[in-house]
Structure formats: structure tokens, C-alpha cells
Amino acid sequence: MNLAYSAEYERFRAEVRAFLAEHWRDDGTDTADPGSIAAAMGAVVRTDAKASEFRRLAAARGYLYRSIPKRYGGGEQPPDPLKAVIIAEEFRRAKAPFELMAQGPSMLVPTLLEHGTEAQKARFVEATLLGHVKWCQGYSEPGAGSDLAALKTRGVLEGDHWVVTGQKIWTSSAHEAQWMFALVRTEPDAPKHDGITYMLIDMQTPGIEVRPLRQMTGEADFNEVFLDNVRVPADSIVGKRGQGWQVSRSTLKHERALIGNASMIRRTFDGVLLLAQLTEVRGQPAIKDPVIRDRLADLEAQLLAAEYNSHRLLTASARGEDPGLAGLVIKLHSSTLQYHVTKLAMDIMGDRSMLAPGEATAPFSGMMTTAFMWYYGLALGGGAPNIQRNVIGERGLGLPRDQRK
């Protein structure tokens, strides 16, 4: 174990810093809505022209989208987790636009690179990485949640078009996406996992209706999408007909990596610590309460474990080792931790935790209350906790599958 960066890496860090100093100035032109998650994450998620141009430059220098070939707009670098960490640290410090974390770049792009045609890659990969094309994911349906492969939205080939009819739900960003990557049942007589096709659908096609779905936070970040005889060109499928389930597996794999994020919980924890220091409860700062201190220390121990575990996984991937169980548990571990950290904030605020986000007299304008509610979004997105437990039990511990149809 050696936690220092060698001279080679310190040189690399200096090089990244020089690049940022030359090419990115935080000029306060962030276009995100104040108070939104996007604003909290600052320039990182910006998609305006200035941010896109910067991303293109940074990718060309090999700093962003490092695993993606240059001909599709990536950085095309050999895997080096340490360099990846240094880049992330320096970009965060400079508040510079980083790799987009939306569903297009993190889920569709890896799938296209693995299964897409040359024409699909050329058309979509770079545009998606730079934020020019926004995507939504058409997977879940009212009758197909944890049992995703039970989905019923059907596609029938008529001449050179698929005609798609059905309903998708929990579709984040469908109201602003230009395209949807969707799972559609095209072989109704095949066993359920073998009858699905992975399709790219233009959201402007006639027959698509998007209805916003408000989540419990009060905001409407996701939607229902109704498809009524939507005509999709026959060549808009990824992989072969009937193999959409296998094609989509690479997408879900990437979603699990996306959601387990120790550094996001660190920011929340630091906020809770500040809240405990600033909030007077019955005549003293909450942080002086022995029970609050005990819980803070317990949560920090778990948070440190999550942070060091991510270093351990990086090291394993740099050495070409399979991280095994340590990788499978990340999502469940980090979402559970997010619950306990934000729950502590609710307890510290006492009766002020009754106030809704945005209420002027709420501590931190209710940001912690929003974060507490978002735990549920994190826990459920990409597979409910019990689905995670099945994966951990079966793939991680080797326990048998239970009886399923």
C-alpha cells in the first residue's frame, strides 16, 4: 500500500492544471436553474455551447471520456485509474465542465460502443458526449418494474419500419430528451428474455406523448411516455432483433457504477456536519449533543470505508483484478449510507424538518430535506434494494436463484 502519488503523476497533475488554467475560466455564466441539483453541481453538468466546446477540447487532450476512441469524440487513453482520479480532482477544483453523467453518456454510449453499428456510433456517440443530443431510457413499464423482462410495449415490423405501441414509466428527462433508447417486445412467441429488441426512438416521431410525473419532492424530473403506433426506421435497432435483453445488460452495469458515489455522500455529510455546528437545539449547538456526535462519528466511519473502498476498487482495476463482491455492493452500501446521513440532518433540524424545501425559514432552505427525499430516488433508480440484494446474494455469494418465471 502506498498512498502517495509518484513524481510521474505529480507531473501529470501539473499538466492538467496548466490546461485548465489556459482553457477554463469560471465566469458565472452557469445556466442551471438556481436551487436545482444541476446548480448544486455547478459547471460540471453545463451543456451550453461554451461548456460543449471545452469538453471537446478536453476530450481531444485525453482528459475526458478516456475509454472512448478519438474517432467518436473520446480521449482514447490506456486505462489508468490514478490519472482518472487526478483529472476528476483538478476539474472539480477548477469548477470546469466534467464528463456528463446523464443517461446518454453513461449508459447509451457504452452500449453503442459494444453493440452499435458504425453508422450509429458515428451519428450519436460524440454528439451525446458533448451534450448536443439528450437521451432518456425507455425500460420500465407499469407492469414491468423489478421484473423488467416482463415488458409489454410491442414492436411490429411493417415494411422498413417498426410500429411501436405501449407505455413506459419513470422515464427521467423524457420531457427534454431528443431521443429514447428503449426495450421493445418484437418476438411475442419467444421466451420472455429472448423476445426483446433494443431500439433508438426519435422523440419527435408522431404518436409519442410525454406526461410529467411528479416525484415526492414535488419536482417533475421524470415522466410517463405513451407510444401509439410510433414508426421507427428498421435500422434503428442496436444489436440483433430479439437480443435486446443481452444488449441492455451493459447499460445496467454502467448504471450501477454511476449511482454508487462516495464523493457525493461526502458532500452531503460535510453539509450535515455544518448543520450540526450551526443549529442551536435547546440552548446548545446540536454538535455538542453526545448522541449526535456518536451518530456523526459512526456515519463518518462508514463513509470513510466507502471512500477507501473506491480507492481499493481503482487499484484492483489498475491491476486488472476482478473486484468481485466489493464492486457489487457499492450501490446498496452508498444509498443506505445516504439515507442515514440525511436522516441525521432531519433529526438535527428537529421541528424545522417539518418545513418544505424552499421555505425561507427552513435551515439551508430545506436542501437537506430534499436530499433526504432523494435517498428514495437513489435507492430505487437502477434496481430496487431487494433486486440489489438478489444480485449480491446470487452473483456475489453464490446463493441459488429463487423460483422465478
- Whichever of 89 and 359 has its CB closer to other proteins, that residue is 89
88-113 burial, b at 16+ Cβ within 10 Å, e below that, comes to: bebbeebbbbbbbebbbbbbbbbbbb
DSSP-assigned beta bridge partners for residue 6: none
**Active centre residues (catalytic):** 255
Please give the residues from 254 up to 273 whose contact with other proteins meets the rule CB under 8 A: 273
- Whichever of 29 and 146 has its CB closer to other proteins, that residue is 146
Residue the block writes with cell 451519428? 123
- Residue 148 CA, distance from chain mean position: 19
Q: Who's near 190: CB < 8 A, 6+ residues apart?
A: 242
Choose one: 158-166, 189-197, 219-227, 396-404; the region binding other proteins (CB under 8 A): 396-404
Please give the residues from 172 up to 231 whose contact with other proteins meets the rule CB under 8 A: none
- Whichever of 85 and 149 has its CB closer to other proteins, that residue is 85
Integer Cα distance of 345 and 19 in angstroms: 39
- Whichever of 37 and 252 has its CB closer to other proteins, that residue is 252
Integer Cα distance of 41 and 385 in angstroms: 26
Interface residue with other proteins among 123, 132, 161, 311 (CB under 8 A) is 311
* Contact (CB, 8 A) for 281 and 350: yes
Choose one: 217-225, 250-258, 298-306, 348-356; the region binding other proteins (CB under 8 A): 298-306
Interface residue with other proteins among 7, 78, 118, 401 (CB under 8 A) is 401
The contact pattern for other proteins, residues 78-107, with x = CB under 8 A and - = no contact, is ----x--x----------------------
Q: How far is the CB of 184 from other proteins (least distance, A)?
A: 30
Integer Cα distance of 128 and 177 in angstroms: 11
Contact between 7 and other proteins by CB under 8 A: the answer reads no
Residue 236 sits at φ, ψ, to 5 deg, of: -90, 20
Nearest Cα neighbor of 324 from 335, 316, 332 is 316
Q: How far is the CB of 385 from other proteins (least distance, A)?
A: 9
Q: How far is the CB of 195 from other proteins (least distance, A)?
A: 26
CA distances from 287 to 267, 274, 290, 341, 354 (A): 18, 9, 8, 14, 20
Contact between 400 and other proteins by CB under 8 A: the answer reads yes
- Whichever of 135 and 269 has its CB closer to other proteins, that residue is 269
Query: C-alpha angle with apex 23: 19 to 29, nearest 5 degrees?
Result: 140
Query: C-alpha angle with apex 308: 305 to 310, nearest 5 degrees?
Result: 110
Size of the site for other proteins (CB under 8 A): 55
Please give the residues from 350 up to 389 whose contact with other proteins meets the rule CB under 8 A: 386, 388-389
- Whichever of 197 and 334 has its CB closer to other proteins, that residue is 334
Nearest Cα neighbor of 172 from 123, 239, 264, 107 is 107
Q: How far is the CB of 96 from other proteins (least distance, A)?
A: 22
- What is the binding site for other proteins (CB under 8 A)? 1-5, 9, 82, 85, 273, 276-277, 287, 290, 293-294, 296-298, 300-302, 304-306, 308-309, 311-312, 314-316, 318-319, 325-326, 329-330, 332-333, 336, 386, 388-390, 392-394, 396-403
